[in-house]
C-alpha cells in the first residue's frame, strides 16, 4: 500500500485549504470527499452551477470557486465520490478505507486531517419525520446543487441560515410563505452585550445586517418567539403549528424547512477515540485541539466546523494553520517561518470566532428541542421517543450507550447523527449530570454503510480459503 504524507477527509473550505497548502509545501496529499465535486457544504457544486445559480446564491458562494480551482491546480490528489468508512491508526500513520463507485480502496497516510464539517442540529419536534419536512440546509442544498426549490415552504427555527435561505429562495422566485422563529426579543437583548466582542468579526457581522435589510426588502412574513412548533399532516407535511403570545396558529404549506443551527460532525473524531469537550455555547461536543488544530491523538488534526462551529470564513485560516504545522512536523518548514506565516491566519480565525458568542446568545436552541415532550420521536431511524429514553434513564441508564442497548436509540443507519445530542441532553437533565459526564455514543466502523460484498473484497489473502 502506498503511504502519503497527508490524507485530508472532507473537501470543504477547511480541507481544500489545508490540502492545497500542504501540497504547495511539497507534501504528498490525498483528499477524500464523498461528494461528486469539491466544495463542501457551503460551496457545493460551485464549479458546475453556472451563473444563473450564482446570482441566486450570492457573491460568497462564488468565492468558493477560487478555493476549488486552487485545489484542482495543486499536486494534491482529489478522490471524488469517496466515502470514507474506516480509519485505523497504524504503528506509524493511519490507514483509511473508502469506497467509490468502482469499489473499496485503502490508503495509508503519515498524518490525517479531519475536515468533515457540520451537521444540522437534531430538531426533534412533533412531526419532524413526515415527508415534506427537511432541514433548512437541505433546502439550500437542493437550490445549490440541483436548482430545485420548494414552492410552498415555511422556514422554522432560528439562526441566520434561515434569512439567507429565505433571500436565496426569493431571488429564485419562490419566497417562503413565512419565517417562524423560536428566538425571542429577550434573547436578542441578552445578546447585545456580546456585540462588542463580535465587532472583531465585523465583516461577517455587517454582512448579517445586510442580510436582514435585504430580507425586509422581500417582505416575507416573520414571526418571532414561536414555541411548541409541530408539523401537522397525515402521511406528509400539510402545515406548521406553533404558539406565540399564548395563541396557537397554523400555516398551511407543502414543505417545512427546519433549522436550529449546525453542530460539528464528530463521527470520525469519535470513531478514532479523540478527546471531546462539551461546548456550552454551541450545546455540542467538540474535539479538543491545540492552536494548530492538532487533536489529542498525535498526527490527527481536526479543522473547520468539525472542530467547533465557526463558519466558512474561519475554515480557511484553520486550514492554513494546520497545513503550516503539518509541513513543519514533516520537516518541510522551519519553526520561524511557520510562526511568521501563522500570524495572519490566526488573526482572521480569532476574528471569525469572536462572532460566535453573540450568535449563540441571539439564536439559542429552542427549549422544546433540548427537552422534547415524551411523545416526540428522538431517534428517526429506530423510531424511539423521548419518553422511552427517560424511562430507561429511570432504570439506571446514565449514558447514551446504555439507553442504546436498552432501546435501540441510536442503532439505525445514521448511527446517532440525528439523535445523539438529544439523548445526551435528556440524560443530563434526567440525572442532573453535566453533559461531559453523560458523554456520547461510541461510534464504530463503518462510518457510512458499506455492502458486505464490498467489505469481503478486503479479506486478507492469506485468510482466504
Partner 1 sequence: MQADYAIIGGGVVGLAAGWGLIRRGQKVIVIDGEDGSFRASRGNFGLVWVQSKGLGAPHYARWSQRSARLWHDFAAELGAASNTDLCLEQRGGYDFHLDEASLAAKVRQYEMLREELGGNYPFEVLRSNALRREEPEIGPKVAGAILHHQDGHVNPLRLLRALAADIVARGGHILSGEHVEDVSQPDGFRLTCRSGRVVEAGKIVLSAGLGAMTLGPKLGFKAPVRPQRGQVLITEKLPKMMNRPSGIIRQVDEGGIQIGDSKEEVGLDDRTTIDTTATIAARAVAVMPGLARAQLVRSWGALRVMSPDGLPIYQKSRTMPGAALVTCHSGITLAAAHARLLPAWLEGADDAPDLEKFSEQRFS
Partner 2 sequence: MNSAFRDLTPAQQLVPVTLDGDELMLPDGANLAAALLAYGVGVFRGTPVSGAPRAPYCMMGACFDCLIELHGVTRQACMTQVQAGLVITKPKGRDHADG
- Summarize as ranges the residues that interact with partner 2 (CB under 8 A): 34, 36, 41, 50, 52-53, 56, 83, 119-120, 129-135, 137-138, 141-143, 145-152, 172-174, 235-236, 254-255, 265, 380-383, 412-414, 417-418, 448-449, 451
Question: Shortest Cβ distance from residue 409 to ligand FAD (Å)?
Answer: 19
Instruction: For ligand FAD, give the closer residue by CB, 308 or 372.
Output: 308
Closer residue to partner 1, CB minimum distance, 222 or 442: 442
Q: Which residue has the cell 429577550?
A: 186
Nearest CB to partner 1, comparing residues 215 and 271 = 271
| Beta strands in 261-298, from DSSP E residues, in sequence order | 262-264, 276-279, 284-287
Q: Which does 12 bind (CB under 5 to 8 A by kind): ligand FAD, partner 1, partner 2, none?
A: ligand FAD
**Residue closer to partner 1 (CB basis): 130 or 411:** 411
Cα(251)–Cα(253) distance, integer angstroms: 6
**Between residues 44 and 338, which has the closer beta carbon with respect to partner 2?**
44
- Shortest CA distance to 5 belongs to which of 34, 28, 23? 28
CB of 56 to partner 2, least distance (A): 8
3-state secondary structure of 404: helix
57 vs 351, which CB is nearer to partner 2?
A: 57
Binding partner of 396, given partner 1, partner 2, ligand FAD, none, CB within 5-8 angstroms per partner class: partner 1
User: Is residue 207 a contact partner of residue 213, using CB atoms and an 8 Å limit?
Assistant: no
| Side-chain-facing half-sphere of 134: CA atoms under 13 Å | 16
Strands 384-385 and 377-379, sheet pairing: antiparallel
Binding partner selected for residue 311 from ligand FAD, partner 2, partner 1, none, CB under the kind-specific 5 to 8 Å limit? ligand FAD
Q: Does 408 bind partner 1 (CB under 8 A)?
A: yes
The dihedral sign for the CA sequence 17, 310, 369, 280: positive
Q: Strand (E) positions, 168-283?
A: 178-181, 222-223, 227-232, 239-244, 247-252, 255-260, 262-264, 276-279
Q: Which is nearer to partner 1, 296 or 401 (CB)?
A: 401
- By CB under 8 A, is residue 267 in contact with partner 1? no
CA distances to 78, 93, 94, 257 from 88, rounded to whole Å, are 20, 9, 6, 37
Candidate list 397, 417, 419, 421; residue touching partner 1; CB under 8 A: 397
Residue numbers 429-458 binding partner 1 by CB under 8 A: 438-439, 442, 444-446, 449-453, 455-458
88 interface partner picked from partner 1, ligand FAD, partner 2, none, CB below 5 to 8 A per type: partner 1
* Three cell numbers, residue 326: 503539518
> Which one of ligand FAD, partner 2, partner 1, none is in contact with 132 (Cβ closer than 5 to 8 A by kind)?
partner 2
Least Cβ distance, residue 413 to partner 2 (angstroms):
4
Give me the half-sphere count of Cα atoms (radius 13 Å) on the Cβ side of residue 168: 28
List of residues contacting ligand FAD (CB under 6 A):
9-15, 32-35, 40-42, 82-84, 115-120, 137, 140-141, 161, 164, 262, 304-306, 311-312, 315, 447-448
Q: Which does 172 bind (CB under 5 to 8 A by kind): partner 1, partner 2, ligand FAD, none?
A: partner 2
Whether 293 and 318 have beta carbons less than 8 Å apart is answered as yes
Based on CB atoms, which residue is closest to partner 2, 147 or 197?
Answer: 147
Indicate the DSSP class of residue 224.
-
Length of the chain: 465
Beta-bridged to residue 249, according to DSSP, are: 242
Least separation in angstroms between residue 228's CB and ligand FAD is: 25
CA of 71: how far to CAs of 68, 75, 233, 302, in Å?
A: 5, 8, 46, 19
> What nine digits make up the cell of 102?
468502482
Three-class SS state of 434: coil
Min dist. Cβ of residue 100 to partner 2 (A): 12
Nearest to 282 by CA among 409, 119, 163: 119
Residues 24-43 within binding reach of partner 1 (CB under 8 A): none
246 Cβ contact partners less than 8 Å away, ≥ 6 residues apart: none
* Contact residues: partner 1, CB under 8 A: 86, 88, 95, 97, 106, 392, 394-402, 405-408, 411-413, 415, 438-439, 442, 444-446, 449-453, 455-460, 463-465
Amino acid at each position: 500500500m502506498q503511504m502519503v504524507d497527508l490524507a485530508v477527509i472532507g473537501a470543504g473550505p477547511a480541507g481544500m485549504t489545508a490540502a492545497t497548502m500542504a501540497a504547495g509545501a511539497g507534501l504528498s496529499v490525498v483528499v477524500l470527499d464523498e461528494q461528486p465535486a469539491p466544495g463542501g457544504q457551503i460551496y457545493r457544486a460551485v464549479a458546475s452551477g453556472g451563473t444563473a445559480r450564482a446570482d441566486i446564491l450570492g457573491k460568497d458562494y462564488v468565492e468558493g470557486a477560487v478555493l476549488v480551482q486552487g485545489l484542482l491546480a495543486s499536486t494534491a490528489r482529489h478522490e471524488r465520490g469517496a466515502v470514507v468508512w474506516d480509519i485505523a491508526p497504524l504503528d506509524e500513520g493511519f490507514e483509511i478505507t473508502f469506497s467509490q463507485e468502482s469499489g473499496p480502496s485503502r490508503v495509508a497516510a503519515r498524518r490525517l486531517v479531519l475536515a468533515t464539517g457540520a451537521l444540522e442540529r437534531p430538531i426533534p419536534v412533533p412531526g419532524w419525520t413526515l415527508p415534506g419536512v427537511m432541514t433548512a440546509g437541505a433546502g439550500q442544498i437542493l437550490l445549490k446543487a440541483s436548482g430545485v426549490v420548494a414552492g410552498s415552504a415555511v422556514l422554522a427555527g432560528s439562526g441566520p441560515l434561515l434569512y439567507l435561505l429565505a433571500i436565496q429562495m426569493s431571488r429564485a422566485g419562490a419566497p417562503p410563505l413565512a419565517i417562524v422563529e423560536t428566538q425571542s426579543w429577550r434573547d436578542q437583548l441578552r445578546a447585545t452585550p456580546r456585540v462588542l466582542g463580535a465587532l472583531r468579526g465585523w465583516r461577517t457581522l455587517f454582512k448579517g445586517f445586510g442580510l436582514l435589510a435585504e430580507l425586509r426588502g422581500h417582505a416575507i412574513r416573520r414571526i418571532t418567539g414561536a414555541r411548541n412548533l409541530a408539523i401537522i399532516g397525515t402521511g406528509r407535511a400539510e402545515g406548521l403549528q406553533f404558539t406565540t403570545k399564548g395563541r396557537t396558529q397554523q400555516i398551511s404549506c407543502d414543505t417545512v424547512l427546519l433549522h436550529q443551527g449546525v453542530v460539528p460532525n464528530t463521527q470520525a473524531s469519535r470513531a478514532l477515540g479523540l478527546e471531546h469537550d462539551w461546548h456550552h455555547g454551541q450545546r455540542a461536543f467538540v474535539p479538543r485541539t491545540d492552536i494548530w488544530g492538532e487533536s489529542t491523538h498525535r498526527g490527527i488534526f481536526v479543522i473547520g466546523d468539525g472542530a467547533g462551529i465557526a463558519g466558512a470564513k474561519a475554515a480557511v485560516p484553520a486550514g492554513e494553520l494546520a497545513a503550516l504545522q503539518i509541513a513543519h512536523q514533516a520537516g518541510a518548514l522551519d519553526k520561524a517561518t511557520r510562526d511568521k506565516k501563522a500570524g495572519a491566519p490566526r488573526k482572521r480565525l480569532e476574528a471569525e470566532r469572536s462572532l460566535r458568542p453573540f450568535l449563540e446568545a441571539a439564536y439559542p436552541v429552542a427549549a422544546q428541542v433540548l427537552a422534547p415532550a415524551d411523545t416526540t420521536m428522538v431517534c428517526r431511524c429506530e423510531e424511539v421517543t423521548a419518553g422511552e429514553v427517560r424511562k430507561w434513564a429511570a432504570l439506571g441508564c446514565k449514558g447514551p450507550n446504555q439507553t442504546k442497548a436498552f432501546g435501540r436509540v441510536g442503532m439505525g443507519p445514521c448511527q446517532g447523527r440525528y439523535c445523539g445530542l438529544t439523548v445526551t441532553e435528556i440524560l443530563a437533565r434526567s440525572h442532573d449530570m453535566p453533559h461531559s459526564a453523560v458523554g456520547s455514543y461510541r461510534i464504530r466502523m463503518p462510518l457510512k454503510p458499506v455492502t458486505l460484498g464490498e467489505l469481503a473484497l478486503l479479506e486478507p489473502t492469506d485468510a482466504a480459503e
